[in-house]
Amino acid sequence: MRVIRVPTLQVQEAYSFYRTYILEYSRNKAEIYEQYGFSLQGSGGSKDWEVFAAILVNDRARRGDGADLENYEVKSATMGSSFEYQYHRNRGLNKLTDDRDVDQIFVARSKTYTNVEVWLVERTKMIPTFDRWLPELLQNYETSDRQRFRRSVTYGFVRNQGARLLEITGGELSYFLEVT
């Protein structure tokens, strides 16, 4: 049996933030987006998911570059898609090191934001991935014209290695991990 360290979750506070600032906001925009031929996909910012995650795990934004939160890196993507990590030339090595040193929160969501899964993958499960990326990152920047290094973690990896913290189905809270 796998044991995972899970923080005390602030489920209702996070869900309230989601309802007000993510779900309702996207619903209010949906009609206008449709009228002008835009999809809602991509209209919710990554910062919204970082705040949502911070509320859920009772953490705070990290100052400066590096991991998003003091104790977590937060990634979001549509359900079934991979989660992208992007490292810029000037801070890429430091960012990779920071990402390696914290647990990872993955938010998988539907295109309409009505279905959401939140997964926690402990840093120990991610270290082999980050260690594999390190020489690739260093080699990538040997060419002076390269500004970014991108890699991704699959949804399947997250589901296999992570603990599901929370799930929202049809805009309603349908599951959360009870921490004892």
Of 43, 39, 59, the closest CA to residue 51 belongs to: 59
- Distance separating alpha carbons of residues 143 and 84, to the nearest angstrom: 22
The predicted structure's pLDDT at residue 42: 58
The predicted structure's pLDDT at residue 34: 80
List the chain residues with pLDDT less than 50: none
- Indicate the residue type of 59: D
The predicted structure's pLDDT at residue 12: 97
Q: Is the pTM of this model over 0.75?
A: yes
The predicted structure's pLDDT at residue 32: 82
List pLDDT tens digits, range 52-95.
999 999 999 998 778 899 999 999 999 999 999 999 988 889 99
Residue 172: CB atoms within 10 A of its CB come to 11
Of 45, 39, 150, the closest CA to residue 89 belongs to: 150
The alpha carbon of residue 20 and the mean position of all alpha carbons in its chain are separated, in whole angstroms, by: 19
Of 62, 136, 135, the closest CA to residue 99 belongs to: 62
The predicted structure's pLDDT at residue 86: 94
User: In the CATH scheme, what is the homologous superfamily, with its name and number, of domain 11-176?
Assistant: PVUII Endonuclease, subunit A (3.40.210.10)
CB 86 within 8 Å of CB 149: yes
- Distance separating alpha carbons of residues 140 and 163, to the nearest angstrom: 32
- Distance separating alpha carbons of residues 170 and 115, to the nearest angstrom: 6
The predicted structure's pLDDT at residue 126: 97
Q: Which two tokens stand for residue 98?
A: 């920071």
